[in-house]
Amino acid sequence: MRFVNLWPYLLYPLRAMLSRRFYFSVMLHMKGVGLTYLLIWCLVLALPGTVKVQNALQQMQALDLSSVVAQIPPSYISSQGVLSANDPADEHPQLIRNLRGDPVLVYSLNGDSVPNFEGTVPITITSHALIINTTKGPMTLPWSTIYGNEEQNFEPLQAAQMMESLFSSSFLTVWSIIALWMFSSLGFVVLIAAGLTKVLAVLIFKLRIAFALVLRLNAFGATLAGLLMFLQFFLPFSLSYIMLCLIPMFYSMSFLAYMKIVMIRSMQDIRYALDPKNPFYRWFEGQSRIREDNSFDQGPDYHSLSPEGQQERERNLQRMIKMTLEQWQQNYKHWQERNGGIFGGTDAKRNQGQGANQNSSSGSEQYRATTNEPNKAQSSNDTFQGSQEQDGASQQDVSHHTAQSSSQKDQNKDGTFVP
């Protein structure tokens, strides 16, 4: 029987929050994993929250809440999960008792104590959360976890009916509801963050990125956002969608900046490009196999060659990088012309008066990176293509032999980075 080592997968959330280099693996080897990862992450985070909610429901059921909730002043919940009384006169601290006369609930939006009352009550309502006092300490349920992030009125009768239905809910039902709420909320956050990341990548880094790849990067970047949503079950705070969207955007933009630095350094330093620690090593190593006569070197790996063989590979790679940069720059100018200079049109005018060396330097900042599905014969496969539109017979030959070098790899079917 073959056992699968789950430890690397269990480290995904931690690596997604702490390791910028981890996103190279997300980009190159995890096609189609983004939404699945997000769903599993929400299911895991929903488990402790479900236990908290179930314990709260059991305690609340014994407090005759129907009569208590009916006495709560009509209130309003904002999209940020903040509760406020419809009538400002009702915002003062109030003590609410059940039909037996037992003090059950304190309605205190500002967290102030009730005058002439020094005891404790099972339930406290504040502007941000429902606080339930248990024998193990207070448990906080933010309003956003109960009502979502939509503006709505807090009607006492409807709230009482909702609680009665929750009292009869099973653990699996509550878990499914909480997990679905977290997944839909994070999915919306990832969608908005991905759209903004795609636009900012063009404006800031001059990178055009396939939306599927942007979604995948932001799905892993939303790990911390999901953790903060989970902490709302235990701590009295709430986060708006704007704050949540900024988290995956920060991770994605930080990775794109780092990736661009790696690519530029690789194109300027051949030794670094052919370093096995380089995330794009396999692509550069494949390009170094294309000889000047466009034949393909089927020899051993670069680091298994003699010094003379390594020098030949380095010269091949320098030539291929120069040709690729020229093609990328040409494609970038064509793209600017098609878009009327909306994104970086001034760059095209500025580049027209520069020499060939400056063009190559500028071109090194515009590139395409293609992520591929893992090959069965290799542990990782990285393929980068300048463009699918080749001009001239020599470019077609290079494209042909580049395809030969990538025959050991899967075909490009995912996100691209192009100038």
Chain segment 220-267, per-residue pLDDT in tens: 999 999 999 999 888 877 788 899 999 999 999 999 999 999 999 998
Within a domain: 145: yes
pLDDT at 365 over 60: no
**Stretch 91-113: mean pLDDT, rounded?**
87
CA distance 19 to 13: 10
CA distance 128 to 92: 16
CA distance 176 to 183: 10
Confidence of residue 340 (pLDDT cuts 50, 70, 90): low
Report the pLDDT value the prediction gives residue 364, as an integer from 0 to 100: 40
Within a domain: 254: no
Within a domain: 342: yes
Report the pLDDT value the prediction gives residue 418, as an integer from 0 to 100: 37
Within a domain: 210: no
Of the candidates 263, 249, 259, the one whose C-alpha atom is nearest the C-alpha of residue 214 is 249
Within a domain: 246: no
Domain end point (choices 171, 192, 218): 171
- Check: CB of residue 285 under 8 Å from CB of residue 253: no
Task: Specify whether 157 is located in the same domain as 274.
Answer: no
Confidence of residue 396 (pLDDT cuts 50, 70, 90): very low
**Stretch 65-83: mean pLDDT, rounded?**
84
Main-chain dihedrals φ then ψ at residue 409, nearest 5 degrees: -125, 165
Task: Specify whether 163 is located in the same domain as 293.
Answer: no
Chain centroid to Cα 27, Å, comes to 12
- Which token pair is 375? 């090959």
- With a CB cutoff of 8 Å and minimum separation 6, the contacts of 306 are none
pTM of the model: 0.64
- Which token pair is 337? 């012309």
pLDDT at 62 over 80: no
pLDDT at 268 over 50: yes
Task: Specify whether 284 is located in the same domain as 405.
Answer: yes
Task: Specify whether 145 is located in the same domain as 278.
Answer: no
Report the pLDDT value the prediction gives residue 3, as an integer from 0 to 100: 58
Task: Specify whether 149 is located in the same domain as 276.
Answer: no
Task: Specify whether 150 is located in the same domain as 273.
Answer: no
Within a domain: 279: yes
Give the largest Cα separation in the chain, rounded: 95
Task: Specify whether 276 is located in the same domain as 407.
Answer: yes
Report the pLDDT value the prediction gives residue 135, as an integer from 0 to 100: 66
Higher pLDDT, 346 or 301: 301
Q: In which domain, by residue range, is 319 found?
A: 269-418
Main-chain dihedrals φ then ψ at residue 202, nearest 5 degrees: -75, -45
CA distance 231 to 17: 16
Task: Specify whether 167 is located in the same domain as 273.
Answer: no
Report the pLDDT value the prediction gives residue 255, as an integer from 0 to 100: 97
**Stretch 47-61: mean pLDDT, rounded?**
82
Domain end point (choices 139, 171, 203): 171
Task: Specify whether 152 is located in the same domain as 293.
Answer: no
Pairs from 164-168 (Cβ < 8 Å, separation ≥ 24): 164/66, 166/57, 167/57, 167/60, 167/61
Task: Specify whether 158 is located in the same domain as 281.
Answer: no
Within a domain: 389: yes
- Which token pair is 413? 């079917």
Report the pLDDT value the prediction gives residue 195, as an integer from 0 to 100: 96
Task: Specify whether 275 is located in the same domain as 414.
Answer: yes
Confidence of residue 380 (pLDDT cuts 50, 70, 90): very low
Chain segment 163-195, per-residue pLDDT in tens: 677 777 888 998 999 999 999 999 999 999 999
Domain end point (choices 128, 150, 171): 171
- Check: CB of residue 149 under 8 Å from CB of residue 185: yes
Within a domain: 104: yes
Provide the 8-state DSSP code for 81.
Answer: S
- Tally of domains in the chain: 2
Q: What percent of the chain has pLDDT over 70?
A: 78
Main-chain dihedrals φ then ψ at residue 111, nearest 5 degrees: 80, 10
Lowest model confidence (mean pLDDT) among 51-55, 88-92, 333-337, 415-419: 415-419
